[in-house]
Structures are given as C-alpha cells and as structure tokens.
Chain A
Amino acid sequence: MSSSPILDIKNASIAYGQNVVVPELNLSVEPGEFIVLLGPSGCGKSTLLSAIAGLTDLHDGQIWIRDNNVTWAEPKDRGIGMVFQSYALYPRMTVEQNLSFGLKVAGTPKAEIARKVADAARILQLEPLMKRRPSDLSGGQRQRVAIGRALVRDVDIFLFDEPLSNLDAKLRMELRIEIKRLHEDLQRTMVYVTHDQIEAMTLADRIVVMKAGHIQQVGTPSEVYNTPANLFVANFVGSPSMNLLDGTLSGEALTLSDGSAHAMAGYPLSDGAGGKVLLGLRPEQLFVLEGDLPAGANRLEAKIDMCEELGPNSIIWCEIAGKRCSFSVPGAVHYPSGSTVPLYYYPGTASLFSQETEQRL
C-alpha cells in the first residue's frame, strides 16, 4: 500500500443551513480499499458520500483525492464515479450510449471512446446488451452498466450509494457477490454506503460506522464485530444484537446485577477502570455448559424463553441476570420453555462498556 491515502477527508463538516449534518470528520482511505460507510438512516453517511462526490458542498474542512485538494472541484474533475441506488441510467439511451455519453460530451476522440467502451463492456460482460435500453435490463445488468459508466471514465474512486437497498433478498445477495468480485478484479478504491450490516460485513475491507454525523468506529469487519468501540456499534452491528448485562466492575472482579461474581481475567482492562458497566456478549460467544466449567471461563444461568431453529443453528431466547438475551447453538436444538440452562463464556472474547460513557473499556 502506498503511503499517501487516495482519499483524505480533513475536518470536514457539512451543514444544511443552520442544521449541521456532519460535524468535523476525518477519514483516510488507502488505494484499492473497499470502504463501507455504515449507519442507520439519517446518520450522515449518504451526505458524506455526496460531499466526496462533490454534489454537496462542505461547510468547512477539506477533501483530498490523490494528493489534490478537490474541496471546491466539480464532480467530474475529482476522479470519482458514482453508482446510485436507482442506478440513474439515462433511460432513453442504449447501454452503449449510456457508457459513452459522458466521454462524448467531454470531447474525447471517437476511437478512444470506442476502445474504452469496448473494454468496459468486456470486463463487465455487457457485450450482448449494448443495444438495449435500461428498461430492458435486469437489475444486475443495470448495476453493471452503472459501474461501467464510471469505469470508462478511468476514475480513481467508485462511490456506491446504497445500490442494493431496493432489491429483493435473493437478488441483493447475487449483486453483492458481483460487486465483491468486481472489486477483486478491478482493484479500484470503492466507497460504499449502506445501512445493511451484512453488506458491510461481507464487502468491506474497513467499515466506518457512523451515527449522527460522527464516526463511531473504523475497523475491519471482524474488529467492528468482535470489539465494538462503543455501545452504539455493539447494538447496531450483529443480528441478533449483542447481549448486554448490567454489572459493577472493581478491578478484575465483575458483579452482575443478580449477584453472581465473574473474574474478568484475560480481558485487556486499562488501569483504574471500574464502576457501573455493561458486559457485552455476542450470542455465539455463549456456550452451553455440559460437565465442568472450562478453565478461564465464567458461568451464567439462562432461563429459557423460546427457541428459533434456523437450520444450521438455533437461536435460543432466554433471560440472563434479569435481561432478555439470546445465544446460538449449532444444529436444531430445543429446550423446554421455563427450564434453566447453564452457559459459559470466555472473558477475553467479551466486551465491557462503561455505563457512563458508553465507551468500550
């Protein structure tokens, strides 16, 4: 990886009138990276993307692309291409015209247009579709044309604005895989906006989790999943979401609200951490205790509520220390409602959040 980032957002803030949508934000993207901006609707992720594209002006701060300050540059001069949720293909033009129109308007020589369009069509397997209109294309084909429109322009960064959110689940999965494959083939930088955590987890090299204009966490999918930086990330990522149990931490000793004592040995606690905390455990970080408690593990009692069989695994809904929780077990498993099942977990894999700051300890 090159030392200088291909996209560098410095102290960017975006406002609509008095309404600040994104306060000071910093983000660097390395060349070839697949970055996913993840967050609930209204978190500013689309606005940020729009600002990167140059469709929304910054209130303050700077955007650098490939060592150029493009803060006030026109979208076409930024070296970005964009794939919209609706794909925004030019409806009255054929696929070929859709691909070539931008180049034609820019005054690119004809031979060069033809070569670039042909290259893009080959890469994206659009060759048999060149004479079709967008209305005669399938969703996947439309997506490829939209990507092709950016591809012919040799852009540095591909921006995706929730391209899959209008599609049904099956098609969404197919196109997700196609985007992933294209990224691997093209090795271009991609910035992808979504509110769907599965898309984020599957596509991203790094996920940027956003809330109310603020970046909550930047990290690989596994970092974001396994070590959420705060309660928001812990809640937002993962389905079913992370189990959170009230407790009081003193040194390495954690006392849950039901009075049970847990030793948090193995958890990387910073010095002086303590007080009211939340113990965070992903459903698959909880195991059913059969026999003796393994070394280094802590024990919990789960009062079974109901069981959901998903095929490869089952989600068991239960109550732990007075909190509604869930845990995952492989295969089809059924426990009688009301029964008590002993569970255990390893403190090293768990998360601890301060109840006061909601940050990870």
Chain B
Amino acid sequence: MTPRSDTRPPRFRNWPAFISLTPVWLTALGLFVGTAIYTFYLSFTNSRTMPSTDLVGFEHYVRLFDARRWNTAMVNMGILCVTYVVGCLLLGFLLAAALDRKIRFENTLRTLFLYPQAVSFVVTGLVWQWLMNPNLGIQNTLQGWGWDSFRFDWIEHPETAIYGVALAGLWQGAGLAMIILLAGLRGIDGSLWQAARVEGIPLWRTYVSIIIPEMRAAVATAATLLFMGIIRTYDLVVAMTNGGPGSSTELPAKFIMDNLFNRQNIGLATAGASVLLITVLAVVVPIFFVRAAQQKKARKGH
C-alpha cells in the first residue's frame, strides 16, 4: 500500500462537473423525492377516482390496516423475503458452486439454469399454475402412474398457495442469483482454493470460512435485486393465482395497483404505497447506517 498523501485537493476543484450534473440531480430529486412526497400527501386526502385536496386524516390507513387483504399481502412479502430471497441465494449458490467446479457441459448447464430468467413472469406464472393444477399438472401425472397419495396442489389451498408462488419465483430467480454469484466466485483468486487445500481445509469449510465471506458484494447485489423483485412483484401473482385463493397470495404491489387503477381508490393505494415505502426504508436504512459505520471503522483502522 502506498501511503496516502495528506494534502487535500481544493474543495471545488471539479466544479464544472458539479454544475453540469446539477440538473440531473434536481430532476432525480424532483422525480423520486417529489413524487414520494406527493404520494404521501395524497394518502391523507379523500382521493378516489381523481386526486383531491380534501384532507381526511388517517382514514385510509385505518381501512388499510383493517383490510385482511393488505395484512395478508404484507405477511406474504415477508414470507417471500425468507423463502424466495434466501431460497434463490441458496439454490443459486449451489448451482454456481457446482458450475464453478469446472464440470463438463458448463455452458449448456449455465444457459439451462439461466433460461427461466429470459421468460416473462407471466409465462412462469401460467406454467406453474398448470404444473400445480391438480387436474392437469404433476399431481395428476404422478397419481396416474399409481402414486395415489401424491399431492402437488399448493396453489389450491390458502395456507400453502404463497409457497407455490415462492417456488415458481425460485425457479425463475435462482438463475439470476446463480449468474451473479458465479461471477462473484470467478472473481475470487483461484489460488485461495489451492492454499486451503494445501492446508487440508475441507471443501465446505473453504466455502463457509473463506469463499462466502469474500462474496459479500455479490450476495448483496443478488439479494438486493431479488428483494426489489418481491417489492414490485405483480405479474407473477396476477398470472399464477391472481392473488387467490381468497387473498392468500396477494402482495403489496398488487394491492396498490388494483386500488390505483381498478378500484378508483387513489387514497387507499397511496396509503399502501406509503406504508410499503416506510417498511422498506425501515429495513434498508439501518442496514445502510450499519454498513456505513463499518466502512468508516475500516478506514480508520488503516
């Protein structure tokens, strides 16, 4: 490491860049922050078909939290965060690790695993709807072969339907996780494996103690993409179950879209959007601060 110079650069040395980027910053600020604030404001008005300025306090929030469907949607988002994100990361990692072992047909397998990613969520949803349809799908086939007790009709039952959606999502999302994690694995110094092997460290231990900690950036990238996918998941559920049976596979994004466009209820939709934003921020902001603190500490330690 070369010692860092202590002389600071002049503060506004890059002012031309600063000035030229200002419009972009203002636009971004206006677009993201401005619309978020407007959304938040609308959630306190009696906007139904059209935006309105009549304030109604927390009425929409009361209705929102009374709605079985919204509460189910939020719980479902949590369930997907655990099953879908963790599932995709685990499966993606296993696939990536398998491919990274320099096996034969790597290119073929990689394409095969990534293929679902090229399919739209609508197609994935429909295909899995068929697969889990007790009259058409896997259950019917296996029962036809004589395995009478076999059940694979998760999406028919409110208690299991969301896991059916998670499974379909997993099928689609694992490839993405795999490709990101594989890139992460490939970015790791190959001699680390050899060093570990020379020291007699078992393969699983090499992964757990040496390789995976090195892949934090790749895991964080994959997890963020998957997580964002859940927050805006709409088409998969619409195509696969349309939120059913009942509201058992509803997700916040679908609730918001439905109220915004189909139910002429801008107030409730924006209340839902605000709660969703606050929930996401409540999760993301602490993580952000913890990471920032860690980085600061790491810099000081140098």
Whether A75 pairs with B200 at a CB distance below 8 angstroms is: yes
Q: Are A55 and B199 in contact (CB under 8 A)?
A: no
Is B192 a contact partner of A88 (Cβ separation < 8 A)? yes
Q: With a CB–CB cut-off of 8 A, which chain A residues contact B301?
A: 136
Contact B209 A75 (CB under 8 A): no
Inter-chain CA distance A55–B198, complex, in Å, is 8
Which residue from chain A places its CB closest to the CB of B213 in the assembled complex? A92
In the complex, chain A residues whose CB is within 8 Å of the CB of B201: 101-102, 105
**Within the assembled complex, what's the spacing in Å between the Cα atoms of A84 and B301?**
27
Is B200 a contact partner of A82 (Cβ separation < 8 A)?
A: no
List which A99-131 residues lie within 8 A (CB) of chain B: 101-102, 105-106
Instruction: Assess A55 versus B210: contact at CB under 8 Å? Given A76-B199, A106-B200, A136-B1.
Output: no
Q: Is the CB of B197 within 8 A of A75?
A: yes
Which residue among A74, A80, A84 has the maximum number of chain B CB atoms within 10 Å of its CB?
Answer: A84
Residue of A85, A92, A105, A161 near B199 (CB, 8 A) is A105
The verdict on A81 contacting B191 (CB below 8 Å), with A90-B210, A101-B209, A136-B301 known, is no
* B214 and A81 contacting across the interface, CB-CB below 8 Å: no
> Among the interface residues A76, A81, A138, which one has the most CB atoms of the partner chain B within 10 A?
A76
Residues of B within 8 A of A88 (CB): 189, 191-192, 194-195
Choose from B1, B198, B210, B214 the contact partner of A82 (Cβ within 8 Å). Answer: B198
A174 CB, min distance to chain B CBs, angstroms: 15
Number of interface residues of B (CB under 8 A): 20
Report B99 CB to chain A, min CB distance, Å.
Answer: 20
Query: In whole Å, how far is A113's beta carbon from the nearest beta carbon of chain B?
Result: 13
Say whether, besides A91-B214, A136-B301, A86 and B200 are in contact (CB < 8 Å). no
Measured between C-beta atoms, what is the minimum distance from B220 to chain A in Å? 15
B192 and A90 within 8 A (CB): yes
Instruction: Give every chain B residue within 8 A of A77 (Cβ-Cβ).
Output: 200
Question: Do B214 and A92 have beta carbons less than 8 Å apart?
Answer: yes
With A and B bound together, what is the CA distance between A89 and B198 in angstroms? 12
Contact with B along A135-162 (1 / 0, CB 8 A): 0111000000000010001000000010
Q: Is A245 an interface residue (CB 8 A)?
A: no
Partner of B200 from A55, A93, A102 at Cβ < 8 Å: A102
B205 close to chain A: CB less than 8 A: yes
Shortest beta-carbon distance from B210 to chain A in Å:
5
Chain B residue, CB-CB nearest to A81: B198
CA distance A84 to B193 in the complex (A): 11
CB neighbours of A82 from chain B (8 A): 194-195, 198
Complex Cα gap A114–B1 (Å): 29
A12 within 8 A of B: no
Are B198 and A53 in touch, CB under 8 angstroms?
Answer: yes
Beyond A86-B191, A90-B192, A92-B210, whether A138 also contacts B1 by CB under 8 A is: yes
One digit per residue, 1 when the CB lies within 8 angstroms of any chain A CB and 0 when it does not, for chain B 178-220 equals: 0000000000010110111111111001000110011000000
A89 to B209, CA, bound (A): 12
A90 touches B198 (CB 8 A): no
Find out whether the CB atom of A149 lies under 8 angstroms from the CB atom of B199: yes
Q: Quick check: B195 and A84 within 8 Å, CB to CB?
A: yes
Kindly state the separation between the CA atoms of A46 and B191 in the bound complex, as whole angstroms. Answer: 13
- Chain A contact residues, CB within 8 Å of chain B: 50, 53-55, 74-77, 80-82, 84-86, 88-93, 101-102, 105-106, 136-138, 149, 153, 161
B interface with A by C-beta (< 8 Å):
1, 189, 191-192, 194-202, 205, 209-210, 213-214, 301-302
If A105-B201, A105-B205 are given as contacts, then 20 extra A-B residue pairs at C-beta distance below 8 Å, sorted by A number, are A53-B194, A53-B198, A55-B198, A74-B200, A75-B198, A76-B197, A76-B198, A80-B198, A84-B195, A85-B191, A86-B189, A88-B194, A89-B195, A91-B210, A92-B210, A93-B210, A102-B199, A102-B201, A136-B1, A136-B302
Pick the 6 closest A-B CB pairs, nearest first.
A76-B200, A102-B199, A88-B195, A84-B191, A88-B191, A92-B213
